[in-house]
Amino acid sequence: MRLSRFLLPSLREAPREAEIVSHRLMLRAGMIRQQSAGIYSWLPLGYRVLRKIEAIVREEQNRSGAIELLMPTIQSAELWRESGRYDAYGKEMLRISDRHEREMLFGPTNEEMITDIFRSYVRSYRDLPMNLYHIQWKFRDEVRPRFGVMRSREFLMKDAYSFDLDQAGARHSYNKMFVAYLRTFARLGLKSIPMRADTGPIGGDLSHEFIILASTGESEVFCHRDYLDFDVPPADTDFESRDGLQAIVDRWTSLYAATSEMHDAGEFAGVPEPDRMSARGIEVGHIFYFGTKYSAPMGAKVTGPDGVEREVHMGSYGIGPSRLVAAIIEASHDEAGIIWPEAIAPFRAAVLNLRVGDAATDAACGDLYRGLEAAGVDTLYDDRDERPGGKFATADLIGIPWQVIVGPKGLAEGKVELKRRATGERELVTPADALRRIVG
RNA sequence: CGGAGCGUAGCGCAGCCCGGUUAGCGCACUAGUCUGGGGGACUAGGGGUCGGAGGUUCAAAUCCUCUCGCUCCGACCA
């Protein structure tokens, strides 16, 4: 992408209302635009990041055996009356009515709807286990939206729902998501720690929050320091192996880890003092097992091998990709701006033309840009007629991992400068070497 | 939902208390010249229903009333 043809409304100063670093940087980098309290447009740069995160979440869901579908944002109140949540959910649910005065709502979550889909088509235990998920916009009319997309009213959520014949099966389904989440967050460049969590209004009796540590986190968390060094399950993990998955989950839940709501000071005191860690954390995922809470009132049953109908055991599993954008920035930035992990950077590389209009520089940049694009590298070519300082500042602000700095001085010696955003390392290399290094 | 604030150009702000030229500054934007490796300089420009409505007054960004929007702290939450 040529920057001169892109929409990148970057700002030197952040708007006054933005307090936390991720919100400030997202506004300065021209990633989002607030349209209303807690409601945002995703501008081109931000949308690229959001989609890359979504893609990784999707890959890991699919790897675990979950099946993607897409449910609507607008739901009928009728479904929610079946589960009893239409009245129970309270003011956070945005209730609307259509032209026939029918009561509708903008979905804050989808347990009811997925249960309805399941009960309509699945009748036999032979079709289980099943895990259905979608990635769709949700709306929760938060009393107090804040921190940009970290706590917004409209947000993107990956929500998965598992269906099993019995509790043991449901436990395996839960473990699949547990492992998939560990892998997902690791691929996003985050160290996540699963913590025992309160189940809240969704209900149920087995739940973990996946927390990443960041000084600006919303909640206080307590855990054993060793979690930071745990190995993440590999890509070839066998998700069908009950014992194998249980062993992974057992290990990842063997040490103390709890959010403040579930914190047990007495138990924490049992952790050797140097291993105790209390920190701020951001919740990036939440998984629940809730048994027959929805299947019972809504009549989601399958026939078992013995010919008897049983209510299915369910779980639900959420990740907020839009919140993750902010969470990753909280965990990865410096004074100059965002430092994107390569996997989700809006562009993997930037080519900085320091002297637009200089024939040799233009030619070298053009070659590099075409070469990178041809090799499948998402590249942002800064071909604006700006001074070098502005280009450096922009590239650092928006966090492009690889930056190729091309100017007459270097080219006189046949060299360009290759810079890594994360470390600040730079070296003079030939354009061909630069291309080779970035393509990897 | 309790408490505290803020709305003046795309962004950051001054002006308001104490009403009175054509509403001002920095950045950004347009044109030009010089520049050219970490947000450069000069010259000339463009852009404003001062959130909205009503009121007081000879006169309102400024005073009064109502209203809309937004932010922060707390309680609550993916």
Dump pLDDT digits (tens) for A249-277. 999 999 999 888 888 888 999 999 999 99
- Radius of gyration from C-alpha coordinates of chain A: 24
Q: What pLDDT does A88 receive?
A: 86
| Containing structural domain, residue A372 | 347-439
Mark whether A147 and A261 lie in a shared domain: yes
Q: What pLDDT does A263 receive?
A: 87
Residue A390's nearest nucleotide, by CA–C1', is: B39
Q: What pLDDT does A106 receive?
A: 95
Q: Does the pLDDT at position A201 exceed 80? A: no
The arithmetic mean of pLDDT across residues A110-133, rounded, is 97
Mark whether A26 and A173 lie in a shared domain: yes
Q: What pLDDT does A202 receive?
A: 53
Mean pLDDT value across chain A: 94
Q: Does the pLDDT at position A216 exceed 80? A: no
Give the bases of strand B that a protein CB approaches within 7 Å: 1-2, 10-13, 26-28, 35-40, 69-78
Q: Does the pLDDT at position A199 exceed 70? A: no
Mark whether A185 and A103 lie in a shared domain: yes
Q: Between the CA of A156 and the C1' of B39, what is the distance in angstroms?
A: 34
The arithmetic mean of pLDDT across residues A31-40, rounded, is 93
* Higher pLDDT, residue A206 or A190: A190
Q: What is the dihedral of CA A34, A141, A320, A146, to 10 degrees?
A: 50
Mark whether A104 and A252 lie in a shared domain: yes
The arithmetic mean of pLDDT across residues A34-63, rounded, is 96
* Higher pLDDT, residue A197 or A373: A373
CATH number at residue A164: 3.30.930.10
Residue A209's nearest nucleotide, by CA–C1', is: B78
Domain ends where: A338, A366, A401? A338
Q: Does the pLDDT at position A91 exceed 90? A: no
Q: What pLDDT does A73 receive?
A: 96
Mark whether A310 and A174 lie in a shared domain: yes
Q: Between the CA of A37 and the C1' of B56, what is the distance in angstroms?
A: 35
DSSP-assigned beta bridge partners for residue A208:
A196, A287
Residue A155's nearest nucleotide, by CA–C1', is: B78
Residue A403 near residue A350, CB atoms below 8 Å: yes
b/e for A347-362, b at 16 or more Cβ within 10 A?
A: bbbbbbbbbeebeebe
Residue A388's nearest nucleotide, by CA–C1', is: B37
Q: Between the CA of A16 and the C1' of B5, what is the distance in angstroms?
A: 13
Mark whether A152 and A10 lie in a shared domain: yes
CATH number at residue A388: 3.40.50.800
Q: Between the CA of A325 and the C1' of B20, what is the distance in angstroms?
A: 52
Domain ends where: A317, A338, A359? A338
Strand A333-334 vs strand A32-36: parallel, antiparallel, or unpaired? unpaired
Q: Does the pLDDT at position A204 exceed 80? A: no
Residue A428's nearest nucleotide, by CA–C1', is: B37
Mark whether A327 and A384 lie in a shared domain: no
Q: Between the CA of A239 and the C1' of B32, what is the distance in angstroms?
A: 67
Q: Rounded to whole angstroms, what are the CA distances from A435 to A157, A208, A364, A399?
A: 36, 43, 12, 19
Mark whether A424 and A282 lie in a shared domain: no
Residue A284's nearest nucleotide, by CA–C1', is: B78
Residues A314-331: pLDDT tens digits? 999 999 999 999 999 999
Residue A220's pLDDT band, with cuts at 50, 70 and 90, is: confident
Q: What pLDDT does A248 receive?
A: 97
Domains in chain A, number: 2
Residues A340-360: pLDDT tens digits? 999 999 999 999 999 999 999
Mark whether A126 and A253 lie in a shared domain: yes
Q: Does the pLDDT at position A284 exceed 90? A: yes
Residue type (1 letter), A16: R
The arithmetic mean of pLDDT across residues A72-101, rounded, is 92
Residues A373-408: pLDDT tens digits? 999 999 999 999 999 999 999 999 999 999 999 999
Q: Does the pLDDT at position A29 exceed 70? A: yes
CA separation for the pair A97, A270 (Å, rounded): 54
Mark whether A288 and A397 lie in a shared domain: no
Q: Between the CA of A36 and the C1' of B51, what is the distance in angstroms?
A: 14
Mark whether A283 and A422 lie in a shared domain: no
User: What ipTM does this complex have?
Assistant: 0.93
Domain ends where: A309, A338, A367? A338
Q: Does the pLDDT at position A419 exceed 90? A: yes
CA separation for the pair A194, A259 (Å, rounded): 10
**A411 sits in which H/E element:** helix A408-411
b/e for A365-392, b at 16 or more Cβ within 10 A?
A: beebbebbeeeebbbbbbbbebeeeebb
The arithmetic mean of pLDDT across residues A115-139, rounded, is 97
Mark whether A285 and A333 lie in a shared domain: yes
Range A241-250 contact pairs with CB under 8 angstroms and sequence separation of 24 or more: A242/A172, A242/A175, A245/A172, A245/A175, A245/A176, A245/A178, A245/A179, A246/A171, A246/A172, A246/A175, A248/A175, A248/A178, A248/A179, A248/A182, A249/A175, A249/A178, A249/A179
The pTM of the full predicted model, rounded to 2 decimals, is 0.96
Closest residue, CA to C1' of B5:
A17
Q: What pLDDT does A17 receive?
A: 82
Q: Between the CA of A334 and the C1' of B43, what is the distance in angstroms?
A: 38
